[in-house]
Amino acid sequence: MKVLMKEMLAIENEMQNSTSNKQQTGKHSRHIWSPIFANRRRIYRMTLAVIRQCNRPHRRIAVKGHMEKILKSCREHHWDLYFEISQPPPATANAGSWKTYECKIRALLKKISSDLHTRHRRKLQRTIKTGRIERNTKKKSKHATVLYKLCP
């Protein structure tokens, strides 16, 4: 029984360590404010690095494989990116089709980078904060004791 319990705890710790993101400190701490944002940032960086290589014909097979991995991780976490990122053309396709694919992905990355910008995130955080404050004041006012009024 003890052995089984140790194995289950070890598996649980391994799962927790694999899914949790390491907290960054210092000048890079602003890049991770939630696990969702961290995954989105990771996908952005991976896609940007892979797209840089699609101009070289001998690297197109690897680009296709990497983009399929990115699509798989998008399917698990980010549906909006999954539906916008399309499958890459075959490795034997002409340079024109790869160029149009590259332009399409770069336009998508430009849109994603504007969503990942600090100003956009701060604006989102501010609206969440004001909404939370408004809800708390409404809750307090509903439960507040009313001052005794003199009946006429």
Exposure string over 33-64, b if 16+ CB within 10 A, otherwise e: eeeeebbbebbbeebeebbeebeeeeebeebb
Report, in angstroms and rounded to the nearest whole number, the Rg of the chain calculated over CA atoms: 24
What's the CA gap between 107 and 139, in Å, rounded?
A: 44
pLDDT of residue 146: 54
Amino acid of residue 83: F
Q: Over its length of 152 residues, how does the chain's per-residue pLDDT go in tens digits?
A: 777 777 877 777 776 665 555 555 556 555 556 667 777 778 888 888 888 888 888 888 898 888 888 888 877 767 667 777 778 888 888 888 988 988 988 888 888 777 666 676 777 788 888 888 888 888 777 665 555 555 55
pLDDT of residue 68: 86
Residue 28 DSSP one-character state: G
Which residue blocks in 20-84 are alpha helix, DSSP H?
35-51, 60-77, 79-84
pLDDT of residue 142: 64
